[in-house]
Chains A and B, each alone.
Chain A
Amino acid sequence: MSSSKDIHLPEIAKYLGSNHPINNMKDSIMNFLISLGFETIEGPEIETEEFNFDMLNIKKSHPARQMHDTFYVQKKENVLRTHTSPVQIRGMLERQPPLALISGGKVYRKDDDATHLPMFHQVEGIYVDKNVTFANLKDLIYQIIYELFGNDVELRFRPSYFPFTEPSAEVDILSKDGNWLEILGCGIVNPVVLENCNIDSQEYSGLAFGLGIERIAMLKHGVKDIREFYKSNLDFLSQFK
């Protein structure tokens, strides 16, 4: 065989793999928030009830604390975190304001259907400083939603309820077919939560927000059934390069 270069040789097709679409989505949201000044923190997925609930002003009587919503482990000693909020609590306890923290990762709730899974992913953020207002929160949420869905998307804020924020809001975007779709929850940090973290709520105020990654990934990629993400089917995974 000749050793001269074969100019007709077809290119060797490079078969790249890819990150999981959920991690891709999570990373792109977190990278955007980091560019705004947020710092990333991590925390355990197995949490105490104190950090997952009490410190966040979620009282014993709150429905989320019932056995049908939360996974308890080791004879009710701990829970699988139901949100990434306890990570913010840990972050606040270790720092002095001003602080701007984000955490992302797996969270667990006792659900299992086409739109809910027992394990899913969240990104949550908190910003505590002097004079942080609801109007600032709106500005930040606009920036996040525009980054995700483009500058021409229409959005609305609705009053809602979370024990750890007051006022609380849910944010919807208008889909192409004219339906409002819930995208995230946010609010002004409940002063009770700040005090729980040894932050003077007279001097400081905060804003907080949380996004469900699967929901956003489903919307952006047009995936109808959340379970598709976790079948590890190469026909599925190879579409997200």
Chain B
Amino acid sequence: MKIAYKHLIKLLVKTPSIDDLSKKLFQLGHEHEIENEIFNMEFTPNRGDCLSLIGLARDLNIFYKTNLNLNIFKDKIPELKLGFINKVPEKCPNVSFLKISIKHKVKKYEKYLEDYFKDLKINKNNFFTDVSNYIAYETGQPTHSYDFDSINEPIVLQNASDNDSFQPLLSKNPIKLQENDLVFFDQKDAINLAGIMGGVRTSCNKETTNCLIECAYFNPESIIGKAVKYDLHSEASYKFERGVDPLCHENVLRRFIQIVQDHTEVTSVEIYNNISSEFKEINLAIDVEKINNILGTNLNKDEYLDALKGLSFNVDKSITAPSYRSDIKHQNDLAEEMARVIGYNNIEPIKINIPKTPSKPSISLENTIKSILIDNGFYEVINSPFVSNEKNNSISIDNPLDSSRSFLRTNLTNSLINNLLYNERRQKDSTKLFEISDIYSLDNKKIQKKKVLCIIASGRVAKNYRDFSKKIDLDYMNSIFNLSEESKKLNFKIISRDNLDTKIKSAIVSLEIDMDDMPESINQYKPTSVRSSKFVQYEPISEFPSTYRDISYSVKEPFKIKELHELILSLENNLIKDIFIFDYFKNDHKNEIKIGFRLLFQHTKRTLRDDEIKDLISDIVKKTTNIKNVDIPGLN
């Protein structure tokens, strides 16, 4: 909600700077951004009472004295004879109607009213709607202005029936109401979707001289969700959803009359009140000890009670919150009030001592499995559980994001096949992945949960000269888990590529197994890798294709290998993504070593051109063949 700094300070006795005010608002828990001296406030949902100039000023009273006595109409208001039936008092315990009649001509808007539209860049409408909008900004109470002469009494507040039609003010087409929508009807049809938006037929216009102003309290439960359901977001619905002051109606309507009087001659005012149940206030014990026990502070009773009084709480034999503070229900709420007044940041931390329960060190099977896989070059993935395909035991989502995500997956293998193909499309020739996740399915209408491990691998065993030409197959996978008689029996399978969208031929080996079926004997495994605890800074990855070049050397003096290797590893170029030895062969008879390096190139912002790589390679070749007895066979 937008609140102008210059409007707010008019209600404060002292004038704080905007920065000072901003700091205090944060201390009170009112997040905001400031733009051109306008506070764009983000109130927590329990503080609907702050959604207005007066509401926010009231909360600031503890720091800056406020003056909230605005001019109101003070004369006695005669009773209005109105045909009105409230069929749902539990949803609307309290509603008032004010009929106000004016001489047609309305003066130029007074400065306070004009400023509201100008400073907050709000479009004007007609006079009564404008006053209604301003009143909501000033007091927090939404009102609805009907053109009295367009209404066919009696007005009935009731639940709609399915398919009742209603044409809201700010909607192109009529909406179809649903059962349980709270709606005002007149003799003809629906005139107001209560708390959300009024209808076109009975709305005020520039010619309206007899206006009926509705001022109500609706239970938030009866309003919530409707604005979203019909896409009819309004200031009013936002306020009603968060709860408004049930006892403010008379004051708000008197203020309404005053503002109208400021602009034109009022010929008559009449009021109709429908009160089905009285507001019940909550009394809380004065217990500063309890507050100190909750916060860990040493407040004395006087400073505690002064703070509450500053927030307009009534302090007598007990503590009573003002009627607009529907969020105050028990002592912890009072503790929060006190913490806000002190400032959360000013409460000193006190050492916490959690009693230590003796825990037995246990080797978790899950961690051991992860170690085995990581030591062998496997990466853990986490996939979304949402899938489009249904099996008869799938759990369905009632309100999916879209139809491609309307069920929960019943296996992990399909997710990992997609991960594999995704990486193969990015020129990865060795992909080893695993995932451990709970999966859910239905068994006789009962939800079954199981923790599942899935492993998938395809391509080269590893990017070193020993394993480079070896392809991942069943033997390789079994060798990883060659730990015990049971672990040898893991049922790795080959997945056919026939139905997959890929041209790559290497075998896909996979395993999907319930974690409960993994043999405990796997825990014999001794991890070889040490996990680093430092946090790496991530470098954005390139979406452009990578390409590789191989350089094969003949080294006649074996000890030059080291020099060559170090030289190549020291090559620094943004385009080189990876370098590894893919081939190594020692010919003892000739005293010659053949060594092959594979270099991977990729640009972060575009596809690399052949000539760029060629230039790079010839530079590397020049540097490396400068080493004595290091040659590239076949190179001129």
A residues adjacent to B (C-beta < 8 A): 1-2, 6-10, 12-20, 22-23, 28, 34, 36-39, 44-46, 59-63, 66-68, 71-76, 78, 80, 98, 100, 106, 110, 112, 117-119, 127, 129, 131, 133-140, 142-143, 156-161, 166-169, 188, 190-192, 205, 220-224, 228-241
**In contact, B463 and A15 (Cβ under 8 angstroms):** yes
Cα–Cα distance between A16 and B580 once the two chains are bound (Å):
14
Give the residue of B373, B395, B428 whose beta carbon is less than 8 angstroms from that of A17: B373
Contact indicator per residue, chain B 325-351, by CB within 8 Å of chain A (1) or not (0): 000001111011001100011011111
**In contact, A36 and B220 (Cβ under 8 angstroms):** no
**In contact, B381 and A73 (Cβ under 8 angstroms):** no
In this complex, what residue of B is CB-closest to A169? B344
Q: How far is the CB of B75 from chain A (nearest CB, A)?
A: 39
Given A37-B357, A45-B438, A161-B46, A66 contacting B375 (CB threshold 8 A): no
Q: How far is the CB of B241 from chain A (nearest CB, A)?
A: 8
Residues of A within 8 A of B537 (CB): 221-222
In this complex, what residue of A is CB-closest to B292? A133
**In contact, A19 and B370 (Cβ under 8 angstroms):** yes
In this complex, what residue of B is CB-closest to A117? B384
Cα–Cα distance between A138 and B342 once the two chains are bound (Å):
15
Given A15-B463, A46-B395, A110-B401, A188 contacting B422 (CB threshold 8 A): no
Give the residue of A135, A221, A233 whose beta carbon is less than 8 angstroms from that of B535: A221
Residues of B within 8 A of A161 (CB): 29, 44-47
Q: How far is the CB of A178 from chain B (nearest CB, A)?
A: 15
Chain B's interface size range is 35 or more
**In contact, B538 and A12 (Cβ under 8 angstroms):** no
B residues adjacent to A (C-beta < 8 A): 26-29, 31, 44-47, 220-221, 224-225, 228, 241, 293-297, 330-333, 335-336, 339-340, 344-345, 347-352, 354-357, 359, 370, 373-386, 395-401, 405, 408, 419, 422-423, 426, 428, 431-433, 438, 440, 442, 447, 449, 462-466, 529, 531-533, 535-542, 558-559, 561-562, 565, 580-581, 584, 586, 588, 593, 595
**In contact, B465 and A232 (Cβ under 8 angstroms):** no
Cα–Cα distance between A100 and B332 once the two chains are bound (Å):
21
Cα–Cα distance between A72 and B561 once the two chains are bound (Å):
63
Cα–Cα distance between A182 and B473 once the two chains are bound (Å):
47
Q: How far is the CB of A78 from chain B (nearest CB, A)?
A: 7
Which 3 pairs across A and B sit closest by C-beta, in order of nearness?
A: A135-B296, A159-B29, A133-B296
27 contacts across the A-B interface (CB closer than 8 A): A8-B559, A8-B593, A9-B586, A16-B374, A17-B376, A17-B378, A20-B379, A22-B382, A34-B359, A37-B354, A67-B398, A118-B384, A127-B354, A133-B293, A133-B350, A134-B296, A135-B296, A135-B350, A136-B350, A157-B344, A158-B344, A166-B330, A188-B332, A224-B540, A231-B422, A236-B541, A237-B380
**In contact, B350 and A98 (Cβ under 8 angstroms):** no
Cα–Cα distance between A173 and B421 once the two chains are bound (Å):
40
Residues of B within 8 A of A241 (CB): 532, 536
Given A66-B224, A168-B336, A136 contacting B352 (CB threshold 8 A): yes
Given A159-B344, A235-B426, A239-B536, A191 contacting B332 (CB threshold 8 A): yes
**In contact, B463 and A13 (Cβ under 8 angstroms):** yes
Residues of B within 8 A of A66 (CB): 224-225, 228
In this complex, what residue of B is CB-closest to A105? B438
Residues of A within 8 A of B442 (CB): 74
Cα–Cα distance between A71 and B440 once the two chains are bound (Å):
15
Cα–Cα distance between A202 and B208 once the two chains are bound (Å):
59
Cα–Cα distance between A73 and B539 once the two chains are bound (Å):
38
Residues of B within 8 A of A205 (CB): 293-294
**In contact, A15 and B581 (Cβ under 8 angstroms):** no
Residues of B within 8 A of A231 (CB): 422
Residues of B within 8 A of A16 (CB): 374-375, 377, 529
Residues of B within 8 A of A28 (CB): 533
Additional A-B contact list (16), CB under 8 Å, known A135-B348, A188-B332:
A7-B558, A10-B561, A13-B462, A17-B374, A127-B352, A127-B354, A136-B351, A139-B349, A158-B344, A160-B44, A161-B46, A188-B294, A188-B335, A233-B422, A233-B426, A241-B536
**In contact, B375 and A134 (Cβ under 8 angstroms):** no
**In contact, B336 and A72 (Cβ under 8 angstroms):** no
Given A12-B465, A161-B47, A61 contacting B224 (CB threshold 8 A): yes
Q: How far is the CB of B383 from chain A (nearest CB, A)?
A: 7
In this complex, what residue of A is CB-closest to B297? A135
Give the residue of A76, A166, A221 whose beta carbon is less than 8 angstroms from that of B538: A221
Given A12-B465, A158-B26, A188-B294, A63 contacting B45 (CB threshold 8 A): yes
Give the residue of A10, A134, A230 whose beta carbon is less than 8 angstroms from that of B347: A134
Give the residue of A39, A63, A72, A159 whose beta carbon is less than 8 angstroms from that of B398: A72
**In contact, A157 and B401 (Cβ under 8 angstroms):** no
Given A2-B588, A118-B401, A169-B344, A159 contacting B336 (CB threshold 8 A): yes
Cα–Cα distance between A239 and B534 once the two chains are bound (Å):
12
Residues of B within 8 A of A233 (CB): 422-423, 426, 541
**In contact, A230 and B532 (Cβ under 8 angstroms):** no
Residues of A within 8 A of B463 (CB): 13, 15
Given A10-B584, A37-B357, A205-B293, A67 contacting B432 (CB threshold 8 A): no
**In contact, A63 and B224 (Cβ under 8 angstroms):** yes
Cα–Cα distance between A206 and B312 once the two chains are bound (Å):
29
Cα–Cα distance between A72 and B359 once the two chains are bound (Å):
38
Q: How far is the CB of B611 from chain A (nearest CB, A)?
A: 25
Residues of A within 8 A of B294 (CB): 133-134, 167, 188, 205
Give the residue of B293, B380, B398, B440 whose beta carbon is less than 8 angstroms from that of A23: B380
Cα–Cα distance between A112 and B425 once the two chains are bound (Å):
25
**In contact, A68 and B295 (Cβ under 8 angstroms):** no
Given A73-B395, A161-B45, A223 contacting B538 (CB threshold 8 A): yes
Residues of A within 8 A of B379 (CB): 17-18, 20, 234, 237-238
In this complex, what residue of B is CB-closest to A9? B584
Cα–Cα distance between A162 and B584 once the two chains are bound (Å):
63
**In contact, A68 and B228 (Cβ under 8 angstroms):** yes
Cα–Cα distance between A100 and B353 once the two chains are bound (Å):
11
**In contact, A232 and B422 (Cβ under 8 angstroms):** yes
Residues of A within 8 A of B224 (CB): 61, 63, 66
Cα–Cα distance between A161 and B385 once the two chains are bound (Å):
30
Residues of B within 8 A of A46 (CB): 395, 440, 447, 449
In this complex, what residue of A is CB-closest to B367? A27
**In contact, A60 and B221 (Cβ under 8 angstroms):** yes
**In contact, B221 and A167 (Cβ under 8 angstroms):** no
In this complex, what residue of B is CB-closest to A74? B395
Cα–Cα distance between A224 and B539 once the two chains are bound (Å):
10
Cα–Cα distance between A22 and B535 once the two chains are bound (Å):
12
Q: How far is the CB of B269 from chain A (nearest CB, A)?
A: 35
Q: How far is the CB of B380 from chain A (nearest CB, A)?
A: 4
**In contact, A67 and B47 (Cβ under 8 angstroms):** no
Q: How far is the CB of A148 from chain B (nearest CB, A)?
A: 10
**In contact, A232 and B383 (Cβ under 8 angstroms):** yes
Residues of A within 8 A of B433 (CB): 232
Residues of A within 8 A of B539 (CB): 239
Residues of B within 8 A of A142 (CB): 349
Residues of B within 8 A of A34 (CB): 359
Cα–Cα distance between A41 and B405 once the two chains are bound (Å):
29
In this complex, what residue of B is CB-closest to A182? B31
Cα–Cα distance between A227 and B381 once the two chains are bound (Å):
13
Q: How far is the CB of B158 from chain A (nearest CB, A)?
A: 20
